Amino acid sequence: MEKNQIQEIKEPFIAARYIKEIGRGKDGARSLSREDAQLLYGAMLDGRVSDLEMGGILLAMRIKGESVEEIAGFMAAAETSIHLLKSPTDSMYAPVIIPSYNGARKKANLTPLLALLLARKGVPVLVHGVLHDAGRVTTAEIFEALHHPLAQSVVQAEGQMAQQLPAFMSINALSPKMTRILSMRRVLGVRSSTHTLVKILQPFTTAALRLTSYTHPEYLQMLQHYFSQIAPHDRGDAFLMRGTEGETVANTARAQQIDWYHEGECTTLVQTHQSVSGNLPDTPETCDAETTAAWITAVLNGDIPVPPNIADQVEHCAMVAKLLHARQTG
């Protein structure tokens, strides 16, 4: 057989001892060590875990919930599977990373507006997420309705940021290995630990600001612990907030609390339960991609005011991104 015809044979990873620890139910299960979590998730990414064991692992973790040590181990493995980007050298801002894996079901998804407003200020912006999600309107679909090209590679994403445009990369382009695990949601019907991991990815070679969100209180506690005690300081800062239908864009009607994590310290930038005074800002009547894109265009053209809560979020992001860049270069 020709050498180039020989396919690499991946040694199967026997996951039974890990499943035995995490698969004993919500009360009886034990969490994996960081080292074991890294080893297990690395094997999952490499396709060395059988489908039967993979299903057992994903469901066991869904029931048990991830410990912060497990997330740290999973993340250490995940970071070896992502394509890294460089921030524009002539920018005075560190990049801002916006994960988008939920989309909209009821209210318009305004993540593209947040990204476009940040890019307009000169902030390098990377949005990453799924292209489509049944029953939801994704950020990718809105960008396409805006005739904004999606980046198919790191080179294209870096080129868009150099032109002061937000770059959108699908998770498939950013990390094909993680995409394979994400796609198992269609088989199992539930989200997995990988949905948490993609929301806290930092795919830049330099420090960056990650915008992160949570929906359930247990994830808030875990992410607070992760960003205050686990996340490497040289990877940059994070904003943590309750999601708007899962997205990391401010709610136009009622601002969510935004906590800024910098070198293990937490500072609250926006208090929760702050309602907009007076009339609520004009928002799209429906959440479909075309209507949302037309409304965003009107905002960018100055025909409709920027919703105050989103305007505040933009300013906070730009302030921290500028500080991060100054600390790196100063």
What is residue 30's predicted lDDT score, i.e. its pLDDT?
Answer: 94
pTM, two decimal places: 0.93
Q: Is the dihedral of CA 237, 241, 244, 246 positive or negative?
A: positive
What is residue 5's predicted lDDT score, i.e. its pLDDT?
Answer: 43
Domains, the chain, ordered by start: 10-78 (1.20.970.10), 96-329 (3.40.1030.10)
Report pLDDT digits (tens) over 173-189. 999 999 999 998 888 88
Query: Which residue numbers in the chain have pLDDT < 50?
Result: 1-7
The whole-angstrom separation of Cα 33 and Cα 50 is 22
Report pLDDT digits (tens) over 204-241. 999 999 999 998 888 899 999 999 999 999 999 999 99
The whole-angstrom separation of Cα 214 and Cα 193 is 13
